[in-house]
Amino acid sequence: MKKVGTAFLTTLFIFSSFTSVNAEEKKDSKAFIDVSAATLWTAPDSLRPIDAPSATNPVDLWKWTKSMTLDEKLWLTSANKLETQALLGQEVTVIDKKGDWVKVLVHGQPTPRNEVGYPGWMPEKQLTYNQEFADKTNEPFVLITKPTAIVYINPSEKHKSLEVSYNTRLPLLSEDTISYRVLLPNGQKAWLRKNDGTVYHSQNDIPTPTADDLINTGKMFLGLPYIW
């Protein structure tokens, strides 16, 4: 997914207070991304100390991107260290494991390298598996339409949980006049403001964007960092 859309994922600061379900609970090789945006690397030993905030659960991508100098950011591409990023809730297939790291294929990111999805290495602790979430992957969902959106652990919006990125999809459980109740990949329930997303009943219901739609979407991200 080395394209403009990946720039949107490098601007997140995570507040997570949820407890992750251990990735070892996933069935077979299926798992789901358990952080706002997981960074996939070309090898499990690629990280420098400054890259540590990108490999935690929760991640702190704001800290990561803001702490790097220009040369440190350029190293990520010049040394061919990064593959892609995957959003909260995206399905992956685990195909290899080395220590605390796993190699995955990111569904929804087709590539000539693998028809299932883009391959890359990531920390296993950034994955989770929950059967309820898996059962709802083909049911109505909320698609985040703002550059970022806050997920709350209660409908009163008093307690932030995490900040999720544009284009994140979360299964819809219910709604009221101001918020959507959604399911997170680890099985936790949470709330989103209605003006942060749109409900669709299936992938096919998402309208094909016009040229103006694409331009206006791009304008939302003017000035945000792009690291590869």
pLDDT interval class at 16 (50, 70, 90): very low
pLDDT score recorded for residue 77: 86
Query: Token pair for residue 197?
Result: 């997303």
pLDDT score recorded for residue 220: 87
Q: Tell the burial category of 33 from Cβ atoms under 10 Å away from its Cβ (0-12, 13-18, 19+).
A: buried
The answer to whether 191 touches 182, Cβ cutoff 8 Å, is yes
More reliable by pLDDT, 13 or 43: 43
- Quick one: fold of 15-129? SH3 type barrels. (2.30.30)
Residue 184: which of 65, 68, 16 has the closest Cα? Answer: 16
pLDDT score recorded for residue 159: 67
pLDDT at 13 > cutoff 80: no
Identity of the amino acid at 198? T
pLDDT at 148 > cutoff 80: yes
Q: Per residue in 58-114, pLDDT tens?
A: 999 889 999 999 999 999 988 899 999 999 999 999 999 999 999 999 999 988 988
Residue 82: which of 113, 38, 125, 126 has the closest Cα? Answer: 38
pLDDT score recorded for residue 28: 55
| Mean pLDDT to the nearest integer, 189-209 | 94
SS3 53: helix
Where are the domains positioned within the chain?
Answer: 15-129
On the question of a cis peptide bond just before residue 58, with omega within 30 degrees of 0, the verdict is yes
pTM of the model: 0.85
Cα(19)–Cα(121) distance, rounded to whole angstroms?
A: 23
